Amino acid sequence: MPFFSIISPVFNTAPYLENFLDSVLSQSFSDFELILVDDGSTDGSREICARRQKDDLRVRVFSQKNAGAGPARNAGISLAKGTYILFFDSDDWIEPDSLKTLHRELTNSPVDLLIYGSREFRYNEREILVGSFDCPPIVKDLSTKEACRASFCDLLFSSAINVPWNKVFRRDLICENGIIFPDTRRAQDAFFNMEYYRHIHTLRTIPALLYCYRSNTQTKVWKKFPRDLYLIDVKYDAYLVDRVKEFDIKEGQGKEKIDALFYHSIFRTIGFYKNPFWKLSNKEKIAYAEEILSHPYNQQRAKDTPALDAHTQRIRELILSKDGKGALRYFEKEARRSALYDWYVKTLRPLLKKNS
């Protein structure tokens, strides 16, 4: 039984795949299996994976019809044999001693969930690196179920919870509780991580920056999001509300942040009317905003949830009035006044891939 099972969905990442594989297979710690789940690639990625499988007995390749990253990771879980599971993306890479560091941490003091740091690398539309920044997790060392639940909001809003690639999971905990990535087009990671979080009793973070994340360009971001993205926001917010109740998070900063996140998510998602790939007419833009505002869940949530500042109060008013045209005007006003539009675009990954 290997110590780690590394599960990586592969879908048309040929330009980056060799670099990713080199970073994993050259690790100073070698007791792992690398499960590559080809998700219907058409760019030669499958052939790269097959060649690496022939060259290295630690590599296992499984191919499936294109179904998305969530089902690909579920397939990897069903094949995994390791004590711990890591989920890496096949267009990213890891530092040379990453696995050695994680093995040492878990051998010295095992935990249900180990969270480590990462570096984000941003590229422009021509794939030229334009910047990078470090993402160390907030410091936590929790030894009881109650302590983990009390720290849920701290970790959520520090962007430590939602992505899968900065964590080590116990395989037995996943399997015993039937935890899977849901079949949603976005935010599968967040739902999986939060479902896993329900079952943990111990958690530790370490500052080591072990994972290197390749951020999507703005064009790739626009292309990724469907017009019904707001339905995922509805599901995500409902799940958070349930966790607040289950974890007995009372009135306070954590709950207030989750309530504020509901309004900010509405505002952000309405802003997708600017997506150039949707090519919406003015009438369609208004209808899109009204569809979001009028959704029964959003209506009830706004009725039940107070807004604590002028911005969220205005969004609440727009929801309750179902005023799509007013929502577009307000978004444009805020974009001009404080460049919120640019801010949201630049932080889509933290808000959706980490939030998603």
For the entire predicted model, the pTM comes to: 0.89
Task: Report residue 272 CA to chain centroid gap.
Answer: 19
Task: Report the chain's mean pLDDT, rounded to a whole number.
Answer: 91
pLDDT in tens, 71-88: 999 999 999 999 999 999
Q: Strand 32-38 to strand 59-63: parallel, antiparallel, or no bridges (unpaired)?
A: parallel
In the chain the domains, ranked by start, together with CATH numbers, are 4-215 (3.90.550.10), 220-353 (no CATH)
Task: Report residue 263 CA to chain centroid gap.
Answer: 20
Could you tell me if 200 and 145 are in contact, meaning their C-beta atoms sit under 8 angstroms apart? yes
Nearest CA to 37 out of 82, 70, 15, 4 is that of: 70
pLDDT in tens, 187-225: 889 999 999 999 999 999 999 999 999 987 666 666 677
- The two three-digit tokens of residue 171, written as one number: 């395989």
If 0-12 CB within 10 Å is exposed, 13-18 middle and 19+ buried, where does residue 121 land?
Answer: middle
Phi, psi of 258 (to 5 degrees): -65, -40
Separation in Å, CA 294 to CA 148, 240, 288, 318: 36, 21, 10, 10
What string of DSSP letters covers 151-171?
THHHHHHTT-SS-STTEEEEH
pLDDT in tens, 320-346: 999 999 999 999 988 877 654 454 555
